[in-house]
Amino acid sequence: MGGKTEQVEQRIRSLISSGELTAGDKLPSERTLAADLSAGRTTVRLVLSKLAAEGLIVAQHGSGYYVSAGAPSARQVVSEPQRELEPWRIHGERTVYDNQWVKLTLVDVEPPGVERFEHHVVRLQHVAITAVVDEQDRVLMLWRYRFVPGRFGWELPGGNVDAGEDAATAAAREVEEETGWRPGTIEHVVTYQPMVGMVDSPHEIFVARGATLVGEPTDAEEAGRIEWIPLSEVPRLMADDQLLGSGTLVALLHLLASNQHRVTSPR
């Protein structure tokens, strides 16, 4: 996680690790946390669901979240590095191949205590992906063929963020171009890197509530069969390997976690 999501997580963890909140104490409400941390409630829900999955906090139906009895020992250091951790030194970078879609470079790196060497790095586009959810808890999805894996599958609408374009604007634009639906309120969920060891391609995930049909898709290459899929069907699609792309998986897992949170906690 990164950005606002990481800030919220760090703040909640610090409340517990500092002793400000101890085992059995109730956490502030979602509304209070969102206001105090200047974050969206969806972001707060994502963090609370993650910490509950770790066992650091527990949800009590109709009441809220409480610090787990095992919270002080929830995080255990398995091993310590023999020396202080340091970033790699970057001595330079040279381009091997470059076009508007992909750039391959060799970066001259020197990890601490290791002889310097050239590391391949693939630099791709900045991407925005959106899960559009309607009032019936259905997700707007596209059934597409992807020639690289050589198969069909379900994806969320998304695409590249143009130079100088705001990521949220790009997310809304891509939804409309690929589906013909104009999304309602859009909220940023998380920014992540799908292959952090060698590929640089920031993926930004958004959730939109509601959408208005404004016409046919305008991106013929990207458009596929367009359907509103019940969120309850997502686990089956995942088990049947019918979901394509890490961005689709991250966004849908977030929605499932948020939906579970709504079941176990007061709104």
> Residues 5-17: pLDDT tens digits?
888 888 888 888 8
What sections of 105-245 are H helices per DSSP? 167-179, 234-239
Residue 117, phi-psi category: left (phi > 0), alpha (psi -120 to 50), beta (remainder):
beta
DSSP 253: H
Q: What is the pLDDT of residue 264?
A: 46
Alpha-carbon distance of 106 to 227, in angstroms, equals: 42
Q: What is the pLDDT of residue 52?
A: 84
Which strand (E) or helix (H) includes residue 182?
strand 181-192
Looking up tokens 């979240």 gives: 65
> Looking at the whole model, is its pTM more than 0.75?
no
CA dihedral (143, 144, 149, 155) in degrees, to 10, reads -60
Q: What is the pLDDT of residue 37?
A: 87
28-66 pLDDT, tens digit per residue, is 888 888 888 888 888 888 888 888 888 888 888 777 888
Q: What is the pLDDT of residue 263?
A: 45
Q: Which of 263, 264, 239 is nearest to 252 (CA)?
A: 239
Sheet holding 103-110, edge to edge: 89-98, 103-110, 117-123, 199-200
- For residues 30 and 21, the answer to whether their CB atoms sit within 8 Å is no
Collect the ranges in the chain with pLDDT lower than 70: 1-2, 70-83, 220-223, 260-267
